[in-house]
Amino acid sequence: MCAACHGPLGNSQIANTPSLAGQPKLFIENTLVLIREGMRDVPAMKGMLHGVSDAEIVELANYFSAQKPVPAAGGAPDEATFRRGQALATRGLCGSCHLPDYSGRAQIPRLAGQHEAFLLQSLKQFRDHPGPGRDTIMAASLYGLKDNELADLAHYLAHYR
């Protein structure tokens, strides 16, 4: 059922849907529990996790975290946009939590190679609508950034190799 949206082996083919392949196991577990318990509102996931046990969530996390992520961004990045995004990521110290290669760790997600549209949507949500099930550190980290800066950051992370 997960593959319908999150793609074969967890590599999403849908621009606004995250790839789960290669995400840290703990991040997947935590996110699925937050969604299941209604603490994180993801409209597309409404009802999908009803009746899913903790053991099944652990199995899903084991499976998806073990899959090889395939970068979603196609084609060459726009050099100027990429550089602006890189500067924002450096200034914002994104690599200190998400790791220097943006692969994520523990409860912190992998950003590298995600769909640009998904990254932009997520960055805007963190900045504009912090709430239950959302990381307040991210809201504070993005505070004051304009939409065009978030677009630059999303472009950089989507094309990061």
Q: Which residues are annotated as a binding site for heme c?
A: 2, 5-6, 45, 94, 97-98, 138
Reported in sequence order, the residue ranges of 13-153 that DSSP labels E, i.e. its strands, are: none
Query: Looking at residue 40, what DSSP letter applies?
Result: S
In degrees and rounded to multiples of 5, residue 90 shows phi and psi of -65, -50
Q: List, as residue ranges, the binding site.
A: 2, 5-6, 45, 94, 97-98, 138
55 contact partners, CB below 8 Å, separation of at least 6:
none
34/32 Cα distance (integer angstroms): 5
133 contact partners, CB below 8 Å, separation of at least 6:
34, 35, 39, 40, 41
